[in-house]
Amino acid sequence: MVIEPASYSPNIKYRAPSAYHSGSDPFIMRLFLRPAASLLLVHLLFLSVPAHARQFQAASPESVGMSSERLSRLDDVMQRYVDEQFLAGSVTLVLKNGKIVYHKAMGMRDVEIGDPMEVDDLFRIASQTKAIVTLAVLILQEQGKLSIREPVGTYLPEWQHTTVAVANEDGYDVVPADRAITIRDLMTHRAGVGWGSQVARAEWEAADLMYWYLADREEGIQEIVRTIASLPMDAQPGERYVYGLGIDVLGALIEVVSGQPLDEFLDEHLFIPLGMVDTHFFVPPEKSDRLAVVYGGTEQGLVRLSTEGHYEGQGHYVDGPRATFGGGAGLVSTAHDYARFLQMVVNGGELDGKRILSPTTVDLVLSNHIGESNLGAGRKMGLGFELITDLGAYGLPGAEGQFSWGGAYHTTYFASPRDNMVVVYLTQIMNAKPGLTDHNRLRALTYQAIVN
């Protein structure tokens, strides 16, 4: 199914009214409409929406230097992953020059009830949250409220003096950190803050902080971050790349420095200005039947995951305590919403006349912050994003300067300022069965479609 923004398609399936926005949302973007009488009303409502809340416009691939025939190769490839039960469904969105050239849903949102996936369905984006929170810290820097080279302990006192677990023959010793952890250390995953799974496992396990998922917690993020500060880290500050709860610490930092809950700060400074009307920490009840179901992959096919458990199940995004705003992995969103965030970065910090960051800050974001170290062949770490710095070493279709990341539910995205292209790919699978190659195929098939 393809939705061309600002136009009406008689093939669009509309769900019940409860699936769509209520009056409490920033903008009314969807209605429960019957095809025969809806065209004029949709057009009038679209015109009444503020300019910054409008959807991207559709364009023919040829008008922006891409090939329709080549781009359509995505159809069969992505459908095959559904047919062969690697995935229940997916949504793929490609922007070129800020225009939608491909936006399709494959498969099912919910296999058991036969509900087809739609392009505006909601997905748990997990670690795709990290780039949003990282850039939110840079908004505070632009407001003169902090500097990312400062110690985190300047604002969160518990972080002034941290410790590190150092392995030895009998287990590990706990030693003082060589220096204070800086805000930039957290932004680049070089603060030593993991999930306790490397050295001091028992202490992190006792604190119930062995995983990235926080949606089931009863306490707020600041309390959780105070507990993290009391635990021994996995490496010295700046020593090496350690992936973990560091961006959640930044979420608490934002709350303290701004004086606002993290969700309110993101709404005010990112989501509302960018028109990201479907991005939330917890799913509004009226949108719950747009949330994609999580499946597990087995050799025999897909298995619907339990409603129990943490990240390994359906999670607490609808019926949980709604107490913890997890800056590292807490958001749900749509392909269109996330593409608006990425296009803002591609544009140098601005979208539809709304400036979020200065071009100089975006240059900082998309610069190498780890020196001679690498995330992998041809890849460096910017602020919140992985960067391709050597295409030959990377070894896949792409572009130098491309920035990207992904999430635990098998979502991914990448964007190329050189090509003015944004690609967002959302699905919901945990522990995919061997042979799932969709991410690499997606990169190859989008870049091969650029012909001019």
pLDDT single digits (tens) 395-452: 999 999 999 999 999 999 999 999 999 999 999 999 888 899 999 999 999 999 999 9
Rounded Cα distance between 349 and 341, Å, is: 9
Q: CB count, 10 Å around CB of 377?
A: 12
Domain count, the chain: 1
**Average pLDDT value over all residues in the chain:** 89
Instruction: Check if the beta carbon of residue 138 is closer than 8 Å to that of residue 127.
Output: no
Answer whether residue 43 shows pLDDT above 50.
no
Q: Is residue 211 in a domain?
A: yes
Give the residue-averaged pLDDT of 123-131.
98
The predicted pLDDT at position 50 comes to: 45
Q: Is residue 39 in a domain?
A: no
Query: Which residues contact residue 62 at a Cβ distance below 8 angstroms, ignoring those fewer than 6 apart?
Result: 68
pLDDT-derived band at 236 (thresholds 50, 70, 90) equals: very high
Question: DSSP labels for 57-80?
Answer: PB--GGGGTB-HHHHTHHHHHHHH
Rounded Cα distance between 410 and 125, Å, is: 9
Q: Is residue 180 in a domain?
A: yes
Q: Is residue 186 in a domain?
A: yes
The predicted pLDDT at position 204 comes to: 93
Q: How does DSSP classify residue 367?
A: S
Q: Is residue 113 in a domain?
A: no
What stretch of H or E contains 171? strand 171-176
Q: How does DSSP classify residue 253?
A: H
Handedness of CA 212, 215, 217, 223 (dihedral sign): positive
Rounded Cα distance between 360 and 358, Å, is: 5
Answer whether residue 351 shows pLDDT above 60.
yes
3-state secondary structure 80-148: HHHHCCCCCEEEEEEEECCEEEEEEEEEEEECCCCEECCCCCEEECHHHHHHHHHHHHHHHHHCCCCCC
Q: Is residue 165 in a domain?
A: yes
Rounded Cα distance between 415 and 119, Å, is: 19
271-326 pLDDT, tens per residue?
Answer: 999 999 999 999 999 999 999 999 999 888 899 999 876 777 899 999 999 999 99
The predicted pLDDT at position 30 comes to: 35
Instruction: Check if the beta carbon of residue 438 is closer than 8 Å to that of residue 83.
Output: no
Q: Is residue 30 in a domain?
A: no
pTM for the whole thing?
0.89
Task: Give the domain extent around 219.
Answer: 132-260
CATH number of domain containing 206: 3.40.710.10
Query: Which residues contact residue 242 at a Cβ distance below 8 angstroms, ignoring those fewer than 6 apart?
Result: 189, 190, 191, 192, 193, 194, 198, 233, 234, 235
Q: Which residue has the tokens 């287990």?
A: 171
Q: CB count, 10 Å around CB of 395?
A: 11
| CA angle, residues 140, 146, 152, in degrees to nearest 5 | 115
Nearest alpha-carbon partner for 270 in 102, 178, 437, 134: 134
Q: Is residue 272 in a domain?
A: no
List the structure tokens of 415. Answer: 């964007």
Q: Which amino acid is at 377?
A: A
List the structure tokens of 114. Answer: 């036969």
